[in-house]
Structure 1
Amino acid sequence: MARRTGEENRRNILTVATRLFYTRGIRAVGMDTVVKECGVGNATVYRQFPTKDALATAYVEGRADAWFARMREAAGEHEDPRAKLIAVFEVLATDCAGSSYRGCPMLNTNTEFPEGKHPAHLVAVTHKQQVRDWFCSLAVKAGAEDPDRIAEELLIVLNGVYATAAVLDGGTYGTRGVDMARRLIADACPGT
């Protein structure tokens, strides 16, 4: 059996940790569980991630990057900036309706690490700020009179759907989120 490279080990560990942290929660999963599920030794895991905080932070960074990649891809299928914004909520609705949906990793991380200095918390906060800023830039392109306001309102809807869909019927609340976003965008960005 061929030995894995350091990068292959890192990806494997992060893939396993992502699954475990998302389904069970970061604090609920010990490093011993990650080691066991990865099928590698302690030294291999700790060589890549010296602490659980480092692994948790890498997990949150990975989820944030993946979110933007998926949403930008969906938005990129449209020319109209209003349709780009709506596309985000359509992807959200699909995600929330899935059987493996367990909430927003950023909101979950913020709940688990409310301490303002924890590196995973800081990544989650930065991600939400970047989402708001992206919404704002799309609102500017869509001709919104108050792009900051619509960006903030859309972020509230996004986070509200994420949180509510994790507790109640994800399909229903995902669809409601799309409807709310459409109304807000139509009101704020009437088009030319």
Structure 2
Amino acid sequence: MRRTGEENRRNVLEVATRLFYTRGIRAVGMDTVIKECGVGNATVYRQFATKDALATAYVEGRADAWFERMREAAGEQADPREKLLAVFEVLATDCAGSSYRGCPMLNTNTEFPERQHPAHLAAVTHKQQVRDWFRSLAVDAGAAAPNRLAEELLIVLNGAYATAAVLDGGTYGKRAVDLARRLIAEACPGT
């Protein structure tokens, strides 16, 4: 049975996502992606003309998936402070997982330090969007200094993601929840 172009694109991106996350983008060649997809070269390159295009689609897909999960978790909370905290509770669960290998955006930033590389730009854009979302949630939570709280929460988030990939993910995920709780309580005392 022949797949549509969209089905082929999804298949290639799913395979690349798994490989790039577990092994690293630079460590995985297009030949490995093609072999794992079980399709011909032309099928893969028709969907993604270059590895850079595939890497960028991977980062954008992971960023979109992150926001979807986090917005869903935050949306389940009525209290604006709890919306912020919900992000860190999801983070703690993720970091404790046996397949956790770090934040795809931070990993991409490390693999592609060239500031104009499209995958690097996608990773940076995501982190800026996270900061801006935190700021919006901080305003809703009544933070006296929402920019500062957003920046501090981003530091905790990224620090937890990076540390949990190297050390005990469960422990550092829980510590991130505790730190976020303290920062939120301090910044939003009147709500």
Q: TM-score range by the shorter chain?
A: over 0.9
The RMSD of aligned alpha carbons is 0.4
| Pair 1:105-2:109 in alignment | no
| Pair 1:6-2:36 in alignment | no
**Structure 2 Cα separation of the partners of residues 95 and 180 of structure 1:** 17
1:106-185 equivalences in 2 (<5 Å): 106-185=105-184
TM-score normalized with structure 2 length: 0.99
- Give the counterpart letter for 1:24 in structure 2: R
**Structure 2 Cα separation of the partners of residues 190 and 28 of structure 1:** 47
1:15-26 equivalences in 2 (<5 Å): 15-26=14-25
Are the equivalent residues in 2 in contact too, given 1:89–1:181 (CA < 8 A)?
Answer: yes
Question: Which consecutive residues of structure 2, in runs of 5 or more, have no partner in the other structure?
Answer: none
Cα deviation, residue 190, structure 1: 1.2
**Structure 1 Cα separation of the partners of residues 118 and 129 of structure 2:** 16
Give the match for residue 49 of structure 1: 48
What SS is found at the alignment partner of 2:77?
coil
**Structure 2 Cα separation of the partners of residues 165 and 75 of structure 1:** 22
What SS is found at the alignment partner of 2:128?
helix
Cα deviation, residue 191, structure 1: 3.3
Cα deviation, residue 35, structure 1: 0.1
**Structure 2 Cα separation of the partners of residues 79 and 122 of structure 1:** 34
Are the equivalent residues in 2 in contact too, given 1:142–1:191 (CA < 8 A)?
Answer: no
**Structure 1 Cα separation of the partners of residues 173 and 79 of structure 2:** 22
Q: Report % sequence identity.
A: 87
Are the equivalent residues in 2 in contact too, given 1:164–1:170 (CA < 8 A)?
Answer: yes
Cα deviation, residue 185, structure 1: 0.2
**Structure 2 Cα separation of the partners of residues 174 and 191 of structure 1:** 27
Give the match for residue 90 of structure 2: 91
Cα deviation, residue 124, structure 1: 0.3
**Post-superposition, which runs of at least 4 consecutive aligned residues in structure 1 deviate over 3 A?**
none
Deviations 1:34-87 (A, max 9, x none): 000000000000000000000000000000000000000000001111000000
TM-score normalized with structure 1 length: 0.99
| Pair 1:28-2:27 in alignment | yes
**Structure 1 Cα separation of the partners of residues 95 and 77 of structure 2:** 22
Cα deviation, residue 121, structure 1: 0.2
Give the match for residue 40 of structure 1: 39
**Structure 1 Cα separation of the partners of residues 81 and 190 of structure 2:** 8
Question: Which consecutive residues of structure 1, in runs of 5 or more, have no partner in the other structure?
Answer: none
